[in-house]
C-alpha cells in the first residue's frame, strides 16, 4: 500500500490493493471542490492511467454526510467581488476537464454517491463507468436556486433521462433518491449503505464487476418514474411560463409543489437552463455539452444572478435574493441567447 496527499490534504490519494482511491476530504464543507482539489485529481488520474497496480479508480467522500455538495461557490463569489473573475474561469475549465477525463478514463471509475451528492458532486461521480447509490443518497443539480445553471456535464446527463424527468430536476433544483437516480440513468448500482465498506474491500481485490454484482440490490420503486406521465406532459412545453402554467393546472400535489418551488428560482437561470437542456439533447458528445456549459457558466458571473444568489444563500444567508429581472416575462430571448455567446477569452475547446 502506498499513499500520497496534497499539501492541504483536501483530497487524499491512495493505491489500496487494486484500487486508486480518491477521498474528497473537506467534511466540514461537505467535501466541496476547490481548484486545488480538482487539479490534484487530474494529476492522480494521469499518473494512474499507466500504473499497472491500479485496475480501477474509486471516488468517495470523507465524513458521514455525503460525497460532495458541489464546487466551492463561496470562493468563486469572493473572487468575483475582489475583482478577480478570471479565477472562476480557471476553476471551471479545470473542473470540466476533470469531468471529461473521468468519462473517458480507460479504467473502471467507481463513484460512491452515498448521502448528499449535488452539483459538482454529480460531476465527479456520475460520468464514471460504475455509479453507486444507497438509501441515503440525495442526488441533484440545485443551481437555479443560486442564479446559476446546471454544469459539470449536468445538462448532458439531465437531457438524457427518460422523458422530461431531467427537465423537472433541473428547473426545481431538488434532489432525488438513489432509486430515482438509477431510474434516471444517473447511477447504475443500488447498494445498502451498511455494505459499502465490504464493497470497497471487494473492489480492492480487483474484480469490479464481481464486487458490484455481489453487493448490489434491486432499488425500491422510483417515485419520479411513477410521476412520469404528468411530468412528460407538462415539462415538454416550449417555455418556462408554459411549464409553470401546466404545473399549476395539474391536480397532483407534487406538481403544485414543483410550481411553487420553480417560482422562487432565478427567472434568468430558469430560461437559460431550459434552453441549455434542449440544446444539449441535440449535441452528440459530452465534450460539446461541456463546451456549451463553459460559455454559459462564464456568462452567469457577469450577465446572470450568480453573485446575488450566492450572497443570499451562503454569505448573508437571508434566503431572499433580488433576482434581476425579477419576472420570467422580462427575460427575453435576446438576453437568453447572450449566455451562449463565445467568451472573449475563447472557448474551452474540449470538442475541438
User: Which of 130, 124, 105 has the alpha carbon at shortest distance from 209?
Assistant: 130
CB 161 within 8 A of CB 153: no
**Which residue out of 17, 20, 115, 120 is catalytically annotated?**
120
User: DSSP per residue over 143-191, as a string?
Assistant: GGGGT----TTHHHHHTTSSTTHHHHHHHH---B-HHHHHHTTS-SEEE
- Give the β-pairing of 116-118 and 138-140: parallel
Distance in Å from the first CA to the final CA of the chain: 39
CA–CA separation, 54 and 2 (whole Å): 11
Dist. CA 247–CA 254, nearest whole Å = 9
Decide the pairing of beta strands 11-16 and 2-5.
antiparallel
Is 71 considered catalytic here? yes
Asked whether the beta carbons of 39 and 11 are under 8 A apart, the reply is: no
Cell readout for 32 is 466541496
Alpha-carbon distance of 14 to 10, in angstroms, equals 13
**Catalytic annotation on 95?**
no
223 is catalytic: no
Beta strands 19-24 and 11-16 are antiparallel
- Which whole-number Å values give the CA distances from 125 to 60, 113, 277, in the listed order? 9, 7, 20
Residue 60 falls in the annotated catalytic set: no
* Residue 243, helix vs strand vs coil: helix
Annotated active-site residue in 60, 72, 95, 143:
143
Please identify which of the residues 70, 71, 115, 204 carries the catalytic annotation. Answer: 71
CB 106 within 8 A of CB 67: no
DSSP codes of every residue in 28-91: GGTTPBPHHHHHHHHHHHHHHTT-TT-SEEEEEESSSSEEE--B-HHHHHHHHHTT-THHHHHH
- Going by C-alpha positions, the residue among 154, 169, 61, 72 that lies closest to residue 115 is 61
Tell me which residues are annotated as active site.
71, 120, 143, 151
Amino acid at each position: 500500500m502506498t499513499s500520497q496527499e496534497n499539501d492541504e490534504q483536501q483530497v487524499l490519494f491512495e493505491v489500496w490493493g487494486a484500487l486508486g482511491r480518491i477521498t474528497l476530504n473537506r467534511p466540514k464543507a461537505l467535501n466541496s471542490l476547490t481548484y486545488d482539489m480538482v487539479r490534484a485529481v487530474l494529476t492522480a488520474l494521469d499518473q494512474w492511467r499507466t500504473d499497472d497496480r491500479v485496475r480501477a479508480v474509486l471516488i468517495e467522500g470523507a465524513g458521514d454526510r455525503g460525497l460532495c455538495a458541489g464546487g466551492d461557490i463561496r470562493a468563486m463569489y469572493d473572487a468575483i467581488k475582489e475583482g478577480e473573475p478570471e479565477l472562476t474561469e480557471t476553476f471551471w475549465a479545470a473542473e470540466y476537464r476533470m469531468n471529461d477525463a473521468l468519462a473517458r478514463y480507460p479504467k473502471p471509475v467507481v463513484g460512491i454517491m452515498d448521502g448528499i451528492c449535488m452539483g459538482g458532486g454529480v460531476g465527479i461521480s456520475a460520468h464514471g463507468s460504475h455509479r453507486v447509490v444507497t438509501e441515503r443518497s440525495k442526488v441533484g443539480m440545485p443551481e437555479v436556486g443560486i442564479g446559476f445553471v446546471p454544469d459539470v456535464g449536468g445538462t448532458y446527463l439531465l437531457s438524457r433521462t427518460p422523458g422530461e424527468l431531467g427537465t423537472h430536476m433541473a428547473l426545481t433544483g431538488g434532489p432525488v433518491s438513489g432509486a430515482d437516480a438509477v431510474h434516471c440513468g444517473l447511477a447504475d448500482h443500488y447498494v445498502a449503505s451498511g455494505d459499502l465498506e465490504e464493497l470497497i474491500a471487494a473492489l480492492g481485490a480487483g474484480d469490479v464487476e464481481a464486487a458490484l454484482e455481489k453487493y448490489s440490490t434491486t432499488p425500491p420503486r422510483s417515485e419520479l418514474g411513477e410521476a412520469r406521465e404528468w411530468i412528460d406532459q407538462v415539462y415538454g412545453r416550449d417555455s418556462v411560463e408554459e411549464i409553470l402554467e401546466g404545473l399549476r393546472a395539474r391536480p397532483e400535489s407534487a406538481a403544485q409543489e414543483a410550481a411553487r418551488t420553480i417560482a422562487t428560482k432565478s427567472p434568468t437561470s430558469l430560461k437559460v437552463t431550459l434552453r441549455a437542456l434542449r440544446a444539449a439533447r441535440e449535441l452528440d458528445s459530452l465534450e460539446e455539452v461541456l463546451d456549451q456549459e463553459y460559455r454559459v457558466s462564464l456568462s452567469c458571473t457577469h450577465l446572470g444572478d450568480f453573485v446575488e444568489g450566492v450572497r443570499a444563500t451562503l454569505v448573508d444567508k437571508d434566503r431572499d435574493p433580488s433576482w434581476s429581472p425579477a419576472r420570467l416575462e422580462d427575460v427575453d430571448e435576446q438576453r437568453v441567447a447572450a449566455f451562449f455567446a463565445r467568451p472573449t477569452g475563447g472557448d474551452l475547446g474540449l470538442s475541438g
